[in-house]
Amino acid sequence: QLQLVESGGGLAQSGGSLRLSCVASGFAVRHYAIGWFRRAPGKEREGVSCINPLGVVTDYVDSAKGRFTTSKLNTKNTVYLQMENLKPEDTATYYCAARGGRDQPTCADGATEGHYNVWGQGTQVTVSS
């Protein structure tokens, strides 16, 4: 069974940092494209970033560029989202998602939910001002 489990969310102060983890089971992240998404209260889910099997990252949220870093550790089958200088508008539930298997593991169209075929349950990030 293909599964993704996010962790690392919580409460942070404005200007603080959090590192989210996305642990995969049932498949290897080195063969998949992994995306990060977030859904803020009252808003639609938006793509944050995507990392392809070679480790090349595409970032999609202008306000997060320079503050969020996506990386992975294949030996731990884990993808990370390091978030620095957090702002209240970063408050959201954060999800990771995977694309691979019979689907080409690219980040082309990686900001689109339908691009992925495996989803995690999400982890809540709340940033206080």
List for the chain the helix, strand, coil content (%; round to 5): 10, 45, 40
Counting residues of the chain whose pLDDT is more than 70, the rounded percentage is 100
Pairing of strands 123-128, 68-73: unpaired
> In this structure, what token pair is assigned to residue 117?
């075929």
What pLDDT score was predicted for residue 121? 98
Pairing of strands 10-13, 123-128: parallel
Which band of pLDDT confidence, cut at 50, 70 and 90, is reported for residue 33?
very high
Which band of pLDDT confidence, cut at 50, 70 and 90, is reported for residue 127?
very high
Q: Are 8 and 68 within 8 A, CB to CB?
A: no
What pLDDT score was predicted for residue 63? 95
Taking the mean position of all CA atoms in its chain, how far away is CA 59? 10
What pLDDT score was predicted for residue 43? 96
Q: Which has more confidence, 15 or 101?
A: 15
